[in-house]
Amino acid sequence: MSIAALRDENERLKALLAQTQTALSEHQGALAASEEARRRLEVILGELRREKFGAKSEKLRPEQYHLPLEDVEIAQGILDAAQEKAAAIIQGRSRGGSDQGSHRNRGCLPSHLPRVERIIEPASTLCPCGCGAMTKIGEDLSKRLDVIPAQWRVLVTRRPKYICRRCSGPVVQAHAPEHVVPGGLPTEAAIAHVIVSKFGDHTPFYRQAEIYARQGIRLDRATLGNWSGRACFHLQPVADHMRRHLAAADRLFIDETTAPVLDPGRGQTKKGYFWAIVSDDRGHSGPSPPIVLFRYAPGRSGTFAEQFLDGFNGCFLQCDAYDGYDRLTEVARPQGPWTLVHCWSHLRRRFVKLARNSKSPIAEAAVRQIAQLYAIEAMVRGSSPDLRLAARKEHSLPLVEALKPWFEKQLSMISSGSTLAEDIRYALNHWQGLTRFLEDGRLELDTNPVENAIRPVCLTRKNALFAGHEVGAENWALLASIVATCKLSDVNPAAYIAETLEAIIDGHPHNRIEDLMPWRFRKTSSQLQ
């Protein structure tokens, strides 16, 4: 064999080795995702098993079963999706293969729902042997549950089969599209509708099932949970990329709210917390998109805030005066510790409440002076940071410089044990954080962006009563993050989730995940079809 031939053979072997290593990496990644989904499911099932077979003190009341079981189905959906992806990679199944019998539709779709048919033809119906046009010999038909606003319908897909009558050539048929639920009832639009109804419109699965039943559609909450879990698995890369965007932001907002979670060991709920991390630069016309990321933690300790912000590059953290955040000012980071920026809205609420309840003239005067700061902010909202800072130096700084000695004077004249004195001390104790907005035009006067983002979570929590499990709360946080970010970008979350799921299932490249972010989705919430 010549040297040139040996060189060519060596290059071929190198290319084959690289291809094998890439395939091995994909297999390992798919197996890792499947194993993580399995572990999450085992955690939930272990808790439910203890509840069922444990002591009476560990058992739940009948009305408490809905939400923990919803969490099981979501986790099961994630596990199903992970295992299917792993099997597809390891077994080398081609994308778009025929539906498997084990995933065939179950049940009967109501006959009164309108049918919308589509026919997926092969790229060519000419015989590859050159014999001419092939003859249709049959077709595969599938029916999937679809939804449009205020109307359900059945999407019927036909895939005709063709064969050449003149030769023994192969049967030609278009590939079946991939779906979130392979061979199942729901379209991606139907799954998106279920997710937004719960995490955007605060309607738990069991209530949705009752609503759908009024149209003759029998879907139990377990099915809805499984669909949402599968979507949660596929949307994980979107949430991960949102976090990377937040990690690069210079200034963040953070807040937390309670998240009751079932605790079968005590026969009641325990208090967990949803933490919201927000980046919103619209106040100073910044280039970064608005993003909301929810995280779940079993407590309110500042250690959780430190954990969630690990790896973030920001300098300023806008928050309330909760002392748990103080530890962040001592965190050793390459960028230095976090600088806390406190909220004038929290201070104003104290005086508003006092003025309403006691008619205190001092509280009313404080409210009027803070209102002047907000009037200045309203004039410069949307301007560049330099213009905002210049306006604050000219108009807000004199007000703030006069307000502090006025507070100190009032404090010396009133009872030290009064509510008014407590409110004034609150202002003076946090004066440095309250006045930092005078140092940087990117900073806001309050934490309203994160409070507005976290309010829908409070409504969902109120309607759902509690999360069924801590793992379920984590899945809740992921889906709520995507829905809330869509709303900040004036994007219809149902349309976004449906089209994004379709793109991911169709094999959208992971290195182009930025293209699938909510702020790049052009269909606004006002353009509902």
For 387-401, what is each residue's pLDDT tens digit? 999 999 999 999 999
Quick check: is 419 in a domain? yes
Quick check: is 339 in a domain? yes
Quick check: is 253 in a domain? yes
Note the pLDDT tens digit of each residue in 322-334. 999 999 999 988 8
Quick check: is 163 in a domain? yes
**Chain-centre distance of CA 345, in angstroms?**
27
Same-domain status, 33 and 168: no
DSSP 207-262: HHHHHHHTTT----HHHHHHHHHHHHHHHHHHHHHHHHHHHT-SEEEEEEEEEEEE
Same-domain status, 107 and 154: yes
On the CB side of 301, how many CA atoms lie within 13 Å of its CA? 6
How far is it between the farthest Cα atoms of the chain?
105
Q: Confidence band (pLDDT; 50, 70, 90) for 470?
A: low
Q: Which of 129, 152, 177 is the last residue of a domain?
A: 177
Give the pair of three-digit tokens for residue 282: 């619209």
Number of domains in the chain: 3
Quick check: is 481 in a domain? no
- The residue among 529, 513, 514 whose CA lies nearest residue 288 is 514
Quick check: is 166 in a domain? yes
Same-domain status, 46 and 157: no
What contacts 399, CB < 8 A, 6 or more positions away?
Answer: 369, 372, 373
Same-domain status, 303 and 399: yes
Give the pair of three-digit tokens for residue 261: 């979670």
Same-domain status, 322 and 419: yes
Note the pLDDT tens digit of each residue in 23-62. 777 777 777 777 777 776 776 666 666 555 554 444 444 4
Note the pLDDT tens digit of each residue in 263-311. 555 556 677 888 999 999 999 999 999 999 999 888 889 999 999 999 9
The long-range contacts involving 376-383, CB below 8 angstroms and separated by at least 24 positions, are: 377/444, 377/445, 381/283, 382/282, 382/283, 382/284, 382/285, 383/284, 383/285
Same-domain status, 433 and 305: yes
Same-domain status, 314 and 437: yes
Q: What is the 3-state secondary structure (H, E, C) of 352-410?
A: HHHHHHHCCHHHHHHHHHHHHHHHHHHHHCCCCHHHHHHHHHHHHHHHHHHHHHHHHHH
Alpha carbon separation from 322 to 99, 309, 487 (Å, rounded) = 54, 16, 27
DSSP letter at 98? P
Give the pLDDT score at 138. 93
Note the pLDDT tens digit of each residue in 298-327. 888 999 999 999 999 999 999 999 999 999
What contacts 46, CB < 8 A, 6 or more positions away?
Answer: none
Quick check: is 221 in a domain? no
* Residue 6 in this model has a pLDDT that exceeds 80: no
Work out the end-to-end distance of the chain between its first and last CA atoms, rounded to an integer number of angstroms. 67
Same-domain status, 307 and 424: yes
Q: Which of 122, 151, 177 is the last residue of a domain?
A: 177
Same-domain status, 290 and 421: yes
Same-domain status, 291 and 436: yes
> Which residues on adjacent β-strands are paired with residue 173?
161
CB 240 within 8 A of CB 258: no
Same-domain status, 255 and 386: yes
Say how far apart CA 320 and CA 441 lie, in whole Å: 19
Ramachandran class of 96: left when φ > 0, alpha when ψ lies in -120 to 50, beta otherwise: left
CB 328 within 8 A of CB 317: yes
Quick check: is 4 in a domain? no
Give the pLDDT score at 85. 80
Same-domain status, 37 and 126: no
Note the pLDDT tens digit of each residue in 196-213. 998 888 888 888 999 999
* Residue 351 in this model has a pLDDT that exceeds 90: yes
The long-range contacts involving 258-261, CB below 8 angstroms and separated by at least 24 positions, are: 258/461, 259/296, 259/457, 259/461, 259/466, 259/467, 259/473, 260/461, 260/465, 260/466, 260/467, 261/298, 261/466, 261/467, 261/468, 261/469, 261/470, 261/472, 261/473
* pLDDT, mean over the chain: 84
Residue that wins the pLDDT comparison between 238 and 22:
238
Q: Which of 453, 471, 502 is the last residue of a domain?
A: 453
Question: Could you tell me the pTM of the whole model?
Answer: 0.76
User: What range does the domain containing 50 cover?
Assistant: 16-90
